Amino acid sequence: MQDRKVIAAAVLFVVALAPVSAQQADVNALLARTAKYLADYEKAFSVVVAEESYVQSLLTMVGGRTTRQERTLHSDVLETSIGQNDWVAFRDVFEVDGQKVRDRDTRLQKLFLDAPAEALTQSRRIVAESARYNLGSLQRNINVPTMALTYLRAGNQPRSVFADAGHQDVDGINAVMLTFVEKSRPTIVRSLTKDLPASGRFWIEAATGKVLKSEVTILGASSPAKIAVTYGPVPKMAMWAPVMMREEYDATDGRERIRGEATYSNFRQFTVAVGEKIKH
């Protein structure tokens, strides 16, 4: 009789483990479809340019007094992929609070089309120049809509632990919600001296691997960042593109709170030879 109890317990133990293994297999399969979805998009065209309307607000709390600032930026945002692991975006501000800060000459687009060998270096200079228009003392350049896709690329997926968090309806589409926690070091996003680990959620169409929404939290030492992006269909584009981005930064010392909301329109797509051989 005692032997039968032991055998029954063993059988129950095996049955309990089976759903976990099957669920992980489903997660791995979904991640593979998502990586292929992103790779197919990159093959179709390597550069996408959109117009961004970006409203930022800043609350500053000092000595019991609260002040509020608001700023509206209009920019060209160029998104591209580099090599196996990097998905990057560059912002080029052309208008601040209704005042032109440069001629609107699509210079990012021209860089990648006319001088791709120098495009990355020059684009990073433009990004640094544009970042000075961000409100608040927090220096940042991760506030671009496609940043989250970096964690889903095939070469980066092993850096994080992904888990199925159930299904949700996203604009009439049955989506799988995947949570993730970045485990590898160094992290994808870093300060000058520290790793900044990421965590968050993705809403993905199960059948296609299409990314519908993303939500990423970066654990910065002075101000954790939370960036949420909604994707939508764009005419003549195979992949859904970011149509809205929301961001939050709350300084750990309680002195600053930054909020932002950006919308995207007028998408243009190009095929450009951008790869790892480009000089950085």
pTM for the model = 0.83
Residue 130 in any domain: the answer is yes
| Phi (first) and psi of residue 49, to 5 degrees | -120, 135
Asked if pLDDT for residue 146 goes beyond 80, the answer is yes
Residue 225 in any domain: the answer is yes
Q: Which of 204, 242, 169 is CA-nearest to residue 32?
A: 204
**Beta strands in the chain, from DSSP E residues, in sequence order:** 47-62, 65-82, 86-96, 99-100, 160-170, 173-182, 198-205, 211-218, 225-232, 241-250, 256-270
Residue 277 in any domain: the answer is no
- Higher-pLDDT residue of 169 and 238 is 169
Range name among 115-124, 127-136, 139-148, 163-172 with the lowest pLDDT average: 115-124
Q: Which of 97, 95, 164 is CA-nearest to residue 130?
A: 95
**DSSP string spanning 35-53?**
HHHHHHHHHH-SEEEEEEE
Q: Which of 271, 246, 249, 272 is CA-nearest to residue 260?
A: 246
- How many distinct structural domains can be found in the chain? 1
Residue 278 in any domain: the answer is no
Q: Which of 96, 103, 90 is CA-nearest to residue 55?
A: 96
Helix axes 116-131, 107-114, angle to 10 degrees: 160
How far is Cα 175 from Cα 206, in angstroms, rounded to an integer? 6
List the domain range (segments joined by +) for residue 119: 2-270
How far is Cα 228 from Cα 215, in angstroms, rounded to an integer? 4
pLDDT (0 to 100) of residue 190? 87
The residues pairing with 192 across neighbouring beta strands, listed in sequence order, are none
pLDDT tens digits, 48-77: 899 999 999 999 988 889 999 999 999 999
CA distances (Å), 75 to each of 47, 195, 222, 244, 258, in order? 16, 29, 27, 14, 19
CATH of the domain at 117: 2.50.20
| Phi (first) and psi of residue 183, to 5 degrees | -115, -30
| Over residues 234-248, mean pLDDT | 89
Give Rg (Cα) of the chain: 22
